[in-house]
Structure 1
């Protein structure tokens, strides 16, 4: 069995690791090249492993993931921080970033809902609302929190509540 056929059997492991991990400035060809390198080293170390597919999959997956972990550790080390480029296009890696803030339209709607809630409060309620924002204790705090939660139920699944 030649190297190309053997690599075709395990390249899906490389693709899966590419989805799960982020290595700074690596492209698809870099992932493929590292996968081929790790496979070559594995074939040199374990003679005849290409005949036993289940053993090949297990060994390659373990060896390749450990290789990627080493690269990520090296990339994140304090000594290498200076080697890193200061800017990377966010649109290239945006699918790997998790958003923890509100979108602009959600933020506008949230501020409007808070404004409506504040309009319904009397003078004492306004004062208690300011105390609530300051995380102070006061009589009726729990009731105000329940009322505010009910008033903002549209935002229950967002990151702010």
Structure 2
């Protein structure tokens, strides 16, 4: 059974190689093209078990090209921009990364600390704190900033 499948794939392998030459699928190497080709052939034979050799070429060429075009459409879709991005080792491109801002886990910890600080304040101080966060000007702003700096002294 396996030998028959391999023999049939050998007959249509040229179609896979031609598609590889005609189309570009990001991050696919030779083995990926071969695997997709075998997968499409398997699906085709499962769907049409009575398929003869003369119709096999036509059916396979159409099905495989459509499969490749679907993959390319998915690759080029605006919704899947992240799928298009190739993996790059951070150590190789680290010099291009900006150093601004906090890392997500540090940002989460800071938010938790600020929430804890706000809950320890009186009702009037909470209102002043909310105005501070909203970047409003009010009497006592400097004092509240100084107090907040002391509370977050470990973060510096």
TM-score normalised over the length of structure 2:
0.52
Separation (CA, whole Å) in 2 of partners of 1:66 and 1:83: 20
Unmatched runs of 5 consecutive residues or more in structure 1 = 89-161
Provide the residue aligned with 1:135 in structure 2.
none
What's 1:6 paired with? Answer: 8
CA distance in 2, matches of 1:25, 1:87: 9
Q: 1:38 pairs with 24, 40, 49, which one?
A: 40
SS at match of 2:49: coil
* Cα distance change on mapping 1:86 and 1:39 into 2, 3 Å: closer
Q: Which runs of 5+ in 2 are unaligned?
A: 89-156
* Superposed displacement of residue 82, structure 1: 1.9
Larger radius of gyration: 2
Q: Once the two structures are superposed, what CA deviation does each residue of 1:101-127 show, in whole Å capped at 9, x if it has no partner?
A: xxxxxxxxxxxxxxxxxxxxxxxxxxx
Q: When the two structures are aligned, how many residues end up with a matched partner?
A: 86
- Write out the 4+ residue segments of structure 1 that deviate beyond 6 Å after TM superposition: none
- Report the Cα distance in structure 1 between the residues aligned to 2:42 and 2:13, rounded to whole angstroms: 13
CA change 1:87–1:41 in 2 (3 A) is closer
Q: TM-score, normalization: structure 1?
A: 0.51
